[in-house]
Amino acid sequence: MTKAPVRDGLPKGFRSAELGWPELDRIPHPPHRIPLLGDVVGMNRHTPLQDTLRYARRLGPVFRQKAFGKEFVFVWGARHTADLAEESRFAKHVGLGIANLRPVAGDGLFTAYNHEPNWQLAHDVLAPGFSREAMAGYHPMMLAVARQLTEHWDRAAATGRAVDVPGDMTKLTLETIARTGFGHDFGSFERSRPHPFVTAMVGTLTYAQRLNTVPFPLAPLLLRRASRRNAADIDRLNRTVDELVRARRASGRGDGDLLDRMLQTAHPRTGERLAPENIRRQVITFLVAGHETTSGALSFALHYLSRHPEVAARARAEVDRVWGAAAEPAYEQVARLRYVRRVLDESLRLWPTAPAFAREAREDTVLAGEHPMRRGAWALVLTPMLHRDPEAWGADAERFDPDRFEAQAVRSRAPHTFKPFGTGARACIGRQFALHEATLVLGLLLRRYELRPDPAYRLRVAERLTLMPQGLRLRPKRRSPVREPASGLRRPVPGAGD
């Protein structure tokens, strides 16, 4: 089951739970376990996460599942997750789902093993690209892409048509990361069908998800055709990025974006530079991760805003008050949308678009004083269940309520109860980028439109390693423009309150 040790002394490859949890029998598992198959009977291969969430509710904050001879330990209790978040005792574990993406992303920031040096090199080289100064520089490009979205929605509003929310948010976030990070325009809003890069990206994510649900010995046989498609998708991603890098090298343009940093910047202490193959992997990582999760977050937030008109009205009033009659907000004004940000956070609480992260023990330890773990043992944190733990969020944890993120409420909760971006040294490097982009876009859409839902729609969640509301369509209705008060004075910008 295990492979030869690697540089840090830990085994590489999948490690079944019985290898690392000495008292595994104490951890509950679903009833009616079947030899060879394990606990997969009754599970839908299209919604494995949501099926696992149902088991989590029944089995408690630490439980296990077995599939085709592989045993997994899941954790979602706030107390247990806080223990796993301790960097001195636990580190990121590149679990099966992430490892399935290594053929395309290799040792990129998201998929690198802890012992691989390139993730730290890339992190240190690229971190200044997410500084406040860099973010302020991205703001005008974010606005330019948002204008393309609103022009598209204006046409739909004029004819009374509904818009494809996940599709449009995917176009928006892909263009935003491509232009701000790499100076590239995919032309997404001029296309009637998704850009081939998006089609290939969805293909690779879906294939990686399928690998999680197929017994390894049978995967080459059962997924032969899908494997060929996946190889073609990876080739498409690689060729797209290679062309993008070639164009930048040929132009010699150095505008300080993420690609410029990858090509030109040496590590501030060691003088090391990213190798060409690693640059390709980092670009793919940013293009995929930099738009896939944000588009899901925006889509879920728009769904909840459309279903909670009182929340939308309060958020819209804040936008009108903070931004006034200015045609577009300044960079500093976005951070003042505190209630809009709460809407986004509450949407990420209920449906974190990256729905799990894995942690492994650095040394022999005991999880939360209850479950012994050997060095290298790992657990998968189910973020949607962590975000619903009644010990942290109350008995009404399933209810959508942005005021859970009012400042006093946040201070009153235990740490490590809200983890939509992972945890520790390997948490998402682009968190502030995503939050600024999403808050800006929500503010722009709230100010410009009323969002009318389809009364017959019921939320369905699509899984392709990340989460997205499936089939979500809204009907935007244009609002009257915000005007200055009669005195001609600008509306006051609120301080700490809203």
Using CA atoms, how far residue 28 sits from 46, 74, 80, 134, 343, in Å, is: 24, 10, 15, 48, 35
| Residues 476, 479, 484: CA angle, nearest 5 degrees | 150
At a CB cut-off of 8 Å and minimum separation 6, what does 190 contact? none
Structure tokens at 98: 């992430």
Q: What amino acid is encoded at 367 in this protein?
A: L
Rounded Cα distance between 113 and 95, Å, is 10
Q: Phi, psi at residue 13, to the nearest 5°? A: 95, -175
Q: How far is CA 63 from the centre of its chain?
A: 24
Q: How confident is the model at residue 43 (pLDDT cuts 50, 70, 90)?
A: confident
Number of H helices, E strands in the chain: 19, 12
Structure tokens at 400: 């959508």
Specify the pLDDT at position 12: 56
Structure tokens at 444: 């722009």
Q: How confident is the model at residue 485 (pLDDT cuts 50, 70, 90)?
A: low
Q: How confident is the model at residue 4 (pLDDT cuts 50, 70, 90)?
A: very low
Q: How confident is the model at residue 5 (pLDDT cuts 50, 70, 90)?
A: very low
136 pLDDT higher than 60: yes
487 pLDDT higher than 60: no
What angle do helix axes 165-182 and 196-211 make, rounded to 10 degrees?
Answer: 110
58 pLDDT higher than 90: yes
Rounded Cα distance between 202 and 465, Å, is 10
DSSP state of 17: G
pLDDT digits (tens, 9 = 90+) for 464-473: 889 999 999 9
Specify the pLDDT at position 484: 58
pLDDT digits (tens, 9 = 90+) for 405-460: 999 999 999 999 999 999 999 999 999 999 999 999 999 999 999 999 999 999 99
At a CB cut-off of 8 Å and minimum separation 6, what does 25 contact? none
**Residue owning tokens 């089609």:** 199
List active site positions. 293, 421, 428
DSSP state of 24: G
Specify the pLDDT at position 2: 39
Specify the pLDDT at position 476: 98
pLDDT above 70 covers a percentage of the chain that reads 93
pTM: 0.91
Mean pLDDT, residues 249-265 taken together: 86
